[in-house]
Structures are given as C-alpha cells and as structure tokens.
Structure 1
Amino acid sequence: MKIKFVSWNVRGLNGESKRALVRNLLLQWGDDIHVLVETKLTRNDSNLYQQIWINRWLGEAHVEAIGRSGGIVVLWDKRVWKGEMVDSGNQMPTCRFEGIEQELKWHLSAIYADCDRGERRELWWELAAIRSLFEGSWVVCGDFNITGYPEERTNCQRINGGMTEFSEWINDMELVALLYLEGLTLGEGVKIMMRGTISTHQTISDAKTGIRPQPHHAYMWRYGFQEVII
C-alpha cells in the first residue's frame, strides 16, 4: 500500500482559471491526499472543493484565510482513507487518517506558518503539544515560511534567529525531512510517496500548463518506521 499525497502552496484559489490549472495537475498526479496551503479562501465551500478535485468520494478539512493571507485545505479520497480533523488553529489543521483496506493509522498536520517570528514560535509550541496527544506516525508538511539553513533559501547567506529556532524544533521533535528521501515505509508493505518537496522557497514549473507549483518541506516523526527506501 502506498500513501500518495501532494503538498503545495497554490498562492490563492479564488480565480476560476487558477482552480482549473490546479484541478488539471491534481488529476494528472493521481494522489490520494492533497494539501493545499495559502488558498486565500475565506469561506467553506464544498462546491468549490469539488471544482478543485472532481471526486464524488471527496473528504475535506480546512482552515479559512484571515483577510488576504493564509488558508489551508486538506482533501482526501474516502475510498482510500477514513479521515477527520482532530485539531485546528489559524496556522494549521491536524487530521487523523485510517486506511480503508489496510490497518494503518497516522496523523498529518498541514502548515501555513505566519511570517511573523513570534507567531511561528507559537505554532511550534502548538505542534509540540498536539504531538503529545496521539501515538503513531505523524507527517508535518506545508509552507513553514522559514528554512533551517541558508542554502535552502535563495540569496540567503547567514543563519538568523528564526532559522535556529526552526532547526532546534525539528531536532527536539525528532523529525526526519522527507526533502532528502524519495520514500519511507510506515510499516510492512506501506510506503509514503511525497511530491513537491524540493525546497520551501524554490519553484518548479509544469511544461504543459506553465503553472509554477510552490513545493515545500515535509517532515515525518520516526515512530513506527522500518527500512528507509531511496
């Protein structure tokens, strides 16, 4: 069983043409779970989610944007996963997933971190508190609006305080970066496949559509891991 999902900063979903481009790429990729951050959506609209991903078995969890910034949507295929949002805040929802055909339970926190360092620090505290509430594997993905090292960001030459705090949080939480791995196993016969994990502040482009997805880091807690597959 493969866990297939994409984590993508879409930089707004209010325009019809943008939703059409996103929809075409999601259909092309064929993943089971889609994490879309910086949606800039200020309302919960199930019809709009169906426009983004045409799927009659659509499950969703969301955090609305505040003003013109933020907004997170997690979409999943109910034929593959039983999902529910178990916690939420302005900068993230946390969802619990259970496999329909295989006994696998795990959690996912989808992040769109604030640009303000103080707000991000509160997010790190919230995530640490949430992590203590459940057992099993945990994926943290999204746009953290900070990097751990200067080389991960264009034209950045030195480490600042925000980077140091982020790196320390990753180490304290014992997270492993999926940026450096093509696949990881959660258990026997179960492999996680992650798309769009090049860097928080680099972009890739799709040759056919011209759209420039914003890929970002994903981190996974080590609990329950077996062999790492490259």
Structure 2
Amino acid sequence: MWDKRVVDLVEEFISELVVACSFINLDDGWGFAGVYGPNNDNNRKLLWDEIAGLCTWWKGPWCIGGNFNITQFLSERPEVSNLRSSMADFSALFDKPDLINLPLARGDYTWSNGKAWSRLDRFIVSPSWEAHFPTLCQKHLPRLCS
C-alpha cells in the first residue's frame, strides 16, 4: 500500500467508528485516523470518547479527519435553528488544548444535497501537527461527482 522505505505502519486501532494508524517515516512519526461519524447521538458519544483516547495514545503529531456527520455551530447548517445537545458535546471536544479544528477555506460547507448545506467534514489536528504544517487548512474543492 505504501513504500516501506519511506513510511511504515507502527500501530493500528480499528473500531466501528474509527480506523486509526500511527506511522513512522525517515524523519519522524505521526498518526492519522479516518472517521465516518454515526448518525445517532449514543454512538456519537462513543466516537467522542474514542477521539479523546486517540489524543492521549499518540505522542507525536496526529490528524483525525473525515465525515463526522454533525455540525459544530448553527452557522454550519443554515436550516437548523436550535443548538442540539449532540452539537454542544461535539463543540466541547475543542475545549481541550490538544485539539485544533482546521479552518475551512474556499467555502462554508462540505456537503449538500442541492437543497440543504452543512459542514460535516473536518480535520482535527494536534498542536505538534499544526507546528509542523503551520499553513495547513481544509479546502473546499469543486464537486465533480457524488
């Protein structure tokens, strides 16, 4: 899957909600977790717990990205007018100093069905990841297909 002369898998964690791997390359080690968030609030709480655990598991730079299937702010889903408890729980994740929510450039939303828009996709990084890649941001690109 990748050139082991450049990067090698060190550890992995696989659950129903997260696939997380830590890697080491020639220069340093780092971690990445891909997320496809659940649509029900009970499973979302499990995901938030798994993310908190990953933050303590990885010692080097890390990035957690994907579709979280929830918005953080009302402005990220214009057709919703009430802050739901699940949104408040998601926002509370970012109260921790070791979680940085990368800004979204070139747009406000990452998902649309043509009638509604939301920011469901995001990347959360550690302070050491941000220090290593200080100009990194999430970019909204043109939608070419579904």
Relative to the length of structure 2, the TM-score reads 0.73
Off by >6 Å, runs of 4+ in structure 1: none
**CA deviations over 1:53-86 (Å, ceiling 9, x no partner):** xxxxxx2xxxxxxxxxxxxxxxxx3264323551
Alpha-carbon RMSD: 2.9
* Count of matched residue positions in the alignment of Structure 1 and Structure 2: 129
* Correspondence for 2:59 among 119, 132, 135: 135
Contact 2:68 2:120 (8 Å CA) reproduced: no
- Percent of matched pairs sharing the same residue: 19
What corresponds to 1:187 in structure 2?
Answer: none
Pairing 1:155–2:79 present? yes
Pairing 1:97–2:97 present? no
Residue 123 and residue 215 in structure 1: after superposition, are their counterparts in 2 closer, same or farther (change >3 A)? closer
Taking the aligned partners of 2:95 and 2:112, their CA distance within structure 1 comes to 23
**CA deviations over 1:10-55 (Å, ceiling 9, x no partner):** xxxxxxxxxxxxxxxxxxxxxxxxxxxxxxxxxxxxxxxxxxxxxx
What corresponds to 1:206 in structure 2?
Answer: none
1:147-226 aligned at under 5 Å gives the runs: 147-172=71-96, 174-180=98-104, 199-202=109-112, 216-223=121-128, 225=131
Contact 1:150 1:157 (8 Å CA) reproduced: yes
Pairing 1:78–2:3 present? yes
Max Rg structure: 1
Residue 81 of structure 2 aligns with an amino acid whose one-letter code is Q
Alpha-carbon distance, 1:132 to partner = 1.6
**Structure 2 gap segments, 5+ residues each:** 114-118, 137-146
**Structure 1 gap segments, 5+ residues each:** 1-58, 60-76, 183-196, 204-213
Contact 1:151 1:157 (8 Å CA) reproduced: no
Residue 227 and residue 95 in structure 1: after superposition, are their counterparts in 2 closer, same or farther (change >3 A)? closer
Q: Secondary structure at the match of 1:132?
A: helix
Q: Secondary structure at the match of 2:20?
A: strand
Residue 134 of structure 2 aligns with an amino acid whose one-letter code is V
Residue 139 and residue 174 in structure 1: after superposition, are their counterparts in 2 closer, same or farther (change >3 A)? same
Contact 1:200 1:216 (8 Å CA) reproduced: yes
Relative to the length of structure 1, the TM-score reads 0.48
Alpha-carbon distance, 1:165 to partner = 0.2
Taking the aligned partners of 1:222 and 1:108, their CA distance within structure 2 comes to 14
**CA deviations over 1:112-163 (Å, ceiling 9, x no partner):** 1110101010111122123222201110101111111011124122321111
What corresponds to 1:210 in structure 2?
Answer: none
